[in-house]
Amino acid sequence: MSSLRNTTTAPKKARALRSSATAQPLTFQILGRRVGKVAVSTFLAVMAVGVLYPLFWMFSSAMKSNSEIFATPWALPTNPNFESYAKAWESGVVSYFGNSLIVTIISLFLTLVLGAAASFALTKLDLPLAKTVTFLLLGGLMVSPTMILVPLFQLLQTLDLYNTHAGLIILYVAYRLPFTVFLIRAYMLTIPNELTEAARIDGANTVQLFLRIVLPLSKPVLVSAGLVFVLFAWNEFPFALVFINDTALKTLPVGLLDFKSALQTDWPVLFAGLSIAAVPMMVAFILAQRHFIRGLAEGMGK
Partner 1 sequence: MKQRSRAIAALWAAPAILLILFFLYYPLLQNLRLSFFQWSVFFPTEEFVGFKHYIKAFNDPIFWTAVGNNLAYAAVSLIVQVGFGLILATLLDRFVKGKLQSFFRSVYFLPATISVTVTGVLFAFVYHPGAGILNSALSFLGLDDLQRVWLGDPQTAIWAVIAMSQWQWTGYVAALLLVAIQRIPVSLYEAAALDGAGPIREFFTVTVPLTRDMVTIMSIVTISNAFLVFNEIVAMTNGGPNNATQVLGTIIYQNAFANDNMGYASAIATLVLVITVIIGVVQLAYANRKRVSL
Residues 110-149 that bind partner 1 (CB under 8 A): 114-115, 117-118, 120-122, 125-128, 133, 136-137, 139-140, 142-149
Pick the closer one to partner 1 by CB: 195 or 281.
281
Exactly one of 85, 97, 162, 175 binds partner 1 (CB under 8 A); that residue is: 175
> C-beta of 123: minimal distance to partner 1 in Å?
10
Exactly one of 151, 192, 203, 216 binds partner 1 (CB under 8 A); that residue is: 151
Residue 169 interacting with partner 1 (CB under 8 A): no
Pick the closer one to partner 1 by CB: 44 or 201.
44
Q: Letter for the amino acid at 3?
A: S
> C-beta of 11: minimal distance to partner 1 in Å?
4
Exactly one of 169, 188, 242, 272 binds partner 1 (CB under 8 A); that residue is: 242
Taking CB under 8 A as the binding criterion, the range among 86-94, 101-109, 217-225, 292-300 that sits at the site for partner 1 is 292-300
The contact mask relative to partner 1 for 21-60 (x = CB under 8 A, - = no) is ---------------xx--xx-xx--xx-xxxxxx-xx--
Exactly one of 155, 186, 204, 223 binds partner 1 (CB under 8 A); that residue is: 155
Exactly one of 95, 165, 199, 253 binds partner 1 (CB under 8 A); that residue is: 253
- Whole-number Å distance between alpha carbons of 268 and 88: 9
DSSP codes joined into one string, the chain = -GGGGTTTTHHHHHHHHHHTTSHHHHHHHHHHHHHHHHHHHHHHHHHHHHHHHHHHHHHHHTTS-HHHHHH-TTSPPSS--SHHHHHHIIIIIHHHHHHHHHHHHHHHHHHHHHHHHHHHHHHHS--TTHHHHHHHHHHHTT--HHHHHHHHHHHHHHTT-TTSHHHHHHHHHHHHHHHHHHHHHHHHTTS-HHHHHHHHHTT--HHHIIIIIIHHHTHHHHHHHHHHHHHHHHH--HHHHHH---GGG--HHHHHHHHHHHHTT-HHHHHHHHHHHHHHHHHHHHHTHHHHHHHHHHHHH-
> C-beta of 40: minimal distance to partner 1 in Å?
4
Exactly one of 102, 199, 217, 241 binds partner 1 (CB under 8 A); that residue is: 241
Residues 199-238 that bind partner 1 (CB under 8 A): 206, 210, 231, 234-235, 237-238
